[in-house]
Structure formats: structure tokens, C-alpha cells
Structure 1
Amino acid sequence: MAIKGVEIGQVFKFSKTVGETDVTLFAGLTGDFSDTHINEQYMQEKSSIGTRIAHGALIVGYMSTASTISIAHVIHRDDLDEFPVSAGYDRIRFIKPVLLGDTVTVIYRVAEIDEEKRRSMAEMEVINQRGEVVAAGRHLMKWAKKLKN
């Protein structure tokens, strides 16, 4: 039985300019106050990058947003007898740093569907405004039976 509304090759995107507020709030929420994220002078003096970078976990959060967009068109369908639940992320790689002021686009592409296990898998790439891949990974979505009211 097919998973309704999910097809191999479907593409969903999310774009965001990573700003000062994003990084500062994320540091506060997570407790990750590494100098690489919050100390410009340190990065200018000690790093080959020369400026602060966004948290890798923040970029994974943007990947999560893309996965939410991928299901938005199906979760409220009356004929849907399953609901999607994130089953995890795999092979996450941070390929290039994301600098404050970069605009990143997550490209979320449904790559596999396992009808027997009721799972879909997407390949994700995060690309900056210069067309460089800055992060990549895979996302597993589990399609679970809805409870009947």
C-alpha cells in the first residue's frame, strides 16, 4: 500500500538568512556559547575562518523545518489514515562553515519509500547563496497509524 501524498523525487525547500539573533538565541536555548559562535574577536585572531559561524545544530534545525514543509500538504487530509513522525537524521555532515549573514537553502528530496516498513527517506543538501554545499544528510520519516476517534 502506497504512502499517500509521498512520492520519490518530490522536492521541498526552506531558505533562511542566518542572522545575529538566530545564533544568539540558539546559543541561549542550547547553552552552546562556544567562542566560534559568539566571540567575533576570538574568531578574527585565532581562526582561519576569520568570523563567527552558525551552530551546526541550528542548520539541522533548518533541515527539520524542510521536513515539516514536506508533510504540510498531507497531514490534514481527510483521507489520510497515517501520520508522519520524524524517525531521525543520518549521515549529517557539515561541509563548509555557515557565516552570519549567509542565506542557506535546504533542499529536501524524497529518495526512497519503504511501503512495508511505512518509512520514507529524504536526501538533504544545504546550499549557501554562493551555490556551495555547506551541509548534507538524510532524514527518515515514519508513517504511523492514526488513532481512531
Structure 2
Amino acid sequence: MAEQGMIENRTFAEIEIGDTARIIRTLNEQDIQLFALVSGDVNPAHMDADYAATDMFRRVIAHGMWGGGLISAVLGTELPGPGAIYLSQSLRFIRPVGLGDTITASVTVTEKRPEHHIVVFDCRCLNQDGDLVISGQAEVKAPTEKVRRARVALPDVQIRGHDAYRRLIELTCAGEPESTAVAHPCSAAAILAAVEAAEANLIAPVLVGPERKIRQAAQEASKDIAGFRLVHAEHSHDAAAKAVALVRSGETKLLMKGSLHTDELMEAVVSWATGLRTERRISHAYIMDAPGHPAPLIITDAAINIAPTLGEKADIIRNAIDLAHVIGIDEPKVAIL
């Protein structure tokens, strides 16, 4: 057997009938996610706990070929090891493998065919209770030359899920789309954002800006805007003022930035006479779906208030807490930098 840190094969001449090798692995959620990422198999029986609870096995189960991959790993790294060529593999899937199951994958030599250095293996996967979960047979062309090398160190892998973002979108699109004034959507990207938000049932856009430029941007984005209301504005400053006026009057409920500069839009928003000021300080917030964090993170303020006073910080926090309540976070935790 190869020492730790080394990988060494067994040649056809060294292999005997009855030789065996095995590896042991415990299935975790990351295994399932990585297998789905590599294979593209996002069957909800493997990926969706709510769906799996209604399926015949009543739990999330591994992809069948995850166990097959363990058998392949034994053949490729233990017996015969490096230099082996996989020729065929039959598998029977007898029992499901669930999260937390510990699987022992083993191969045993049952036949040698000297003419082409073929070795036949009985293949088995047993769970922690000793139950047979996978059985099969493999044919491998065994190496004839000795190989002994340093075992390659595997990289660390971090899974970045998007559950928080998905839940946020589901929460938002469950109701009626909100009428939204889109200020100066005069680029393909701005039109695309507005149209895709409408298609997701998030907003009902009102496009505010130079009509010719808006239609040209829609053409560049290959998007049909015939169903959207257009409010003509002469230029970006005018578009900002008119979009804010729509929200101020109650014609629309939301304001969305198009392809104008943030300063132009905020100048209209913060106007004492015609803007959208309330008794609180206006503030900005990022909503972030951060890896490994179960709920969205709100970072505030990153754009408007550069050096807020203590009173202004209180308003910024109140605004963020109100936002957290809207997106389903009942008791947000606040960290002040």
C-alpha cells in the first residue's frame, strides 16, 4: 500500500484474484451541490428539501452516480490505480443514499484476462448499517508499468448559494407589481433591467426620458416596450425631475434609476420643494446575498451620507430596519462601524 501522501498503482502482474480495495465517504450537502454543479443534474429530489419530503424517499438523496463516482475513485486511485483504463461498468441502484449516510465503496478482483491485461471487478457500496446500496461489475485494462507519485492536493471549494436572493425575489413577486417610474432608461442595459423586472412581476414600469432614445435603447436590447407607458422628457435632468414628480404625486410608488448619473437623480430626490424628503434623513442601502449567511445582509450607507452625525446615523439605522422588516427580517441585528 502506498504511504500517506503518495499514490501508487498495482500492475497487472501484481494483481491477484480476490484482491480488494475500498474508500469511505460520508455524504453531505456540499457533495450534492458540487455533483449537481458539475453534471447539471438539478433534479429536485436531490436539490429541494421541500420537494424531497413529498417524494417516495421522503428525504433528500444523492445522485445515483455519486456512488458510482466512489467506485471510479477506488479503481483510479487504489486498485489498479494510476494507468488503469476504464472499459465498462454496470451498476444496480438498490437503496437510496441520503444526507449523513457513510458509504464504503469497494472493488474485488474476480477475473484476470492476460491477453489484453483486462481485470474484472465486483463493485459494491454499503451504507453505515451494512446495507448494500449499489452493486455492479467493472472491466478495467490494468497498467503494466509501475507508477508511484505524490498525491495531488485538492483545492478548497466554497459553495456560494443564492437562497437568500431567491427567497427575496419570491417574496417580492408574490403580490401585484408596483408602478415604477424609471428615470432616463436610455441604454440597452437600463431597458433590459426594467423589462426583466416587469417580466418577473416585480414592477409595472413607466419609462421617463427622451422618447426617441428610449425606443432606440429598446431596439438595441431586442425588447418590446409597446405595453409600457412612456413619459417624454427633454434630457436626463428633466427625466429625473419628472420621474420624482410621478412618485411624489402618487402616480407611481417606486423610483428606479436608468442610465443617468446618480447625482442627477438624487438632486431631484432631495429637493425640499419638489423632492421626496420625509422627516428622516435619506439614506442608501445595499442588500447582499452573502455566502454562508442565511438571510440577506443590509449595508448602509455606502453612497449618500459620507460623514453622518449621530442623529443622522439613527435615521440611517431606522431606514435599514424598516427595509429589513419589508423583506421579511423581523428582528434585524445591527452592527455600527
**2:86·2:140 contact (CA, 8 Å) conserved in 1?**
yes
Task: Give the whole-Å Cα distance in 2 for the aligned partners of 1:103 and 1:87.
Answer: 28
Match among 34, 44, 47 for residue 53 of structure 2: 44
TM-score between both structures, scaled by the size of structure 1? 0.84
In 2, Cα distance between equivalents of 1:52 and 1:33: 12
Considering fraction of residues, name the structure with more helix.
Answer: 2
The answer to whether structure 1 residue 62 and structure 2 residue 70 are counterparts is yes
Alignment correspondent of 2:136: 137
Q: Say yes or no: does 1:89 pair with 2:86.
A: no
CA distance in 1, matches of 2:97, 2:71: 14
Distance, in Å, in 1 between the alignment partners of 2:23 and 2:68 is 12
Q: Which amino acid aligns with 2:71?
A: M
Gaps of 5+ in 2: 1-10, 146-337
Write the letter of the residue equivalent to 1:86: Y
Aligned partner of 2:149 in structure 1 is none
- CA deviations 1:42-81 (Å, max 9, x no partner) are 1112x13110100011111101011121124xx5xxxxxx
Aligned length: 134
Q: Deviations over 1:79-125 (max 9, x none)?
A: xxxx42111212x1100000011000012101100112320000011
| Structure 1 counterpart of 2:116, one-letter code | K
1:5 counterpart = 2:14: yes
SS in 2 for 1:121: strand
Name the SS for the 1:96 alignment partner.
coil
Distance change in 2, residues 1:122/1:114 (3 Å): same
Distance 1:144 1:10 in 2: 16
What is the aligned partner in structure 1 of residue 97 from structure 2?
Answer: 98
Q: TM-score, with normalisation over the residues of structure 2? A: 0.38
Q: CA deviation at 1:11?
A: 0.8
Unmatched tracts of structure 1, length 5 or more: 76-82
**CA apart distance, 1:144:** 6.0
Q: 1:114 maps to which residue?
A: 113
Aligned residue in 2 for 1:79: none
In structure 1, C-alpha distance between the alignment counterparts of 2:139 and 2:88, rounded to whole Å? 5
How big is the shift at 1:3?
2.7
CA-atom RMSD in angstroms: 1.7
Which is strand-richer, 1 or 2?
A: 1
What do the CA deviations read for 1:1-34 (whole angstroms, capped 9, x no partner)?
A: x932111000101110011000001101110000
Rounded Cα–Cα distance in structure 2 between residues aligned with 1:122 and 1:57: 18
CA distance in 1, matches of 2:72, 2:39: 16
For residues 85 and 57 of structure 2, the distance between their equivalents in structure 1, rounded to whole angstroms, comes to 37
Distance 2:133 2:21 in 1: 18
Percentage identity across aligned positions? 28
